[in-house]
Amino acid sequence: MKETPMKFIKKLYANKKMNYLMKEWVEPIIIAVILALIIRTFVVQAFKIPTGSMRPTLMEGDRLLVNKFIYKFKKPERGDVIVFISPEDRKKDFIKRLVALQGEDVEISNGTIFIDGRAVDSDSIMKERYYYNRGEFGKEGEVLKVPVDSYYVLGDNSISSRDSRYWGFLSKKDLIGKAFLIYWPPTRFRLIK
């Protein structure tokens, strides 16, 4: 059966309309989704704070951004607020402050953190906090050596934080990134120190 000119025009019009929709809507949406997935996977990810273990630095409900690529170019530093895979429940992510690096001796005594026998720096935020002796890896008078490719991390709200004092050292491979910005709520918008 031969195609009539009217059917041919309708078919051509439908194809132009479909091409227009593909070019103007579908392609940009697909590209945006792919870019968002790449950025979330490798660059920056948003997290929400569920507990008060990092008070007063981070409050319950704070939403923050985590730089996921920074540690590919520089080493983590003492005092960094980091996000990592929980050693106790690998389906959860935790956020804590990095206190001691591989090869260092760490001790908590009378509320103060000692690294290699000396109290943490006077300009450090950790100097302002009181750290309680708790758990298997946070006993009074116990000096712990941080293993290779590992870290010792603590919550800023020491009295209600489940951290290295309880489950030991954080493996370098479980590190996700460095928290750098609270973006919500607007009243708490700030860089994280």
Q: Both 147 and 96 in a single domain?
A: yes
| CATH classification of the domain holding 94 | 2.10.109.10
Structure token pair of residue 14: 């439908």
- Per the annotation, the verdict on 53 as an active-site residue is yes
Report pLDDT digits (tens) over 85-107: 999 999 999 999 999 999 999 99
Report pLDDT digits (tens) over 144-181: 999 999 999 999 999 999 999 999 999 999 999 999 99
Domain housing 119: 45-191
- Per the annotation, the verdict on 124 as an active-site residue is no
Q: Both 177 and 91 in a single domain?
A: yes
The residue annotated as part of the active site, out of 53, 150, 158, 161, is 53
Beta pairing class for 175-184 and 63-67:
antiparallel
Q: What is the mean pLDDT of residues 6-22?
A: 65
Q: Do the beta carbons of residue 104 and residue 146 sit within 8 Å?
A: yes
Q: Both 11 and 55 in a single domain?
A: no
Structure token pair of residue 137: 């890896």
Q: Both 117 and 142 in a single domain?
A: yes
The residue annotated as part of the active site, out of 68, 96, 150, 178, is 96
Q: Both 139 and 173 in a single domain?
A: yes
pTM of the model: 0.80
Q: How many domains does the chain have?
A: 2
Q: Both 52 and 107 in a single domain?
A: yes
CB burial class (10 A; 0-12, 13-18, 19+) of residue 164? buried
Q: Both 145 and 61 in a single domain?
A: yes
Q: Both 20 and 101 in a single domain?
A: no
Q: Determine the Cα–Cα distance for residues 182 and 49; give it in Å rounded to an integer.
A: 10
What pLDDT is recorded for position 84? 97
Report pLDDT digits (tens) over 26-81: 677 777 777 777 766 667 889 999 999 999 999 999 999 999 999 999 999 999 99
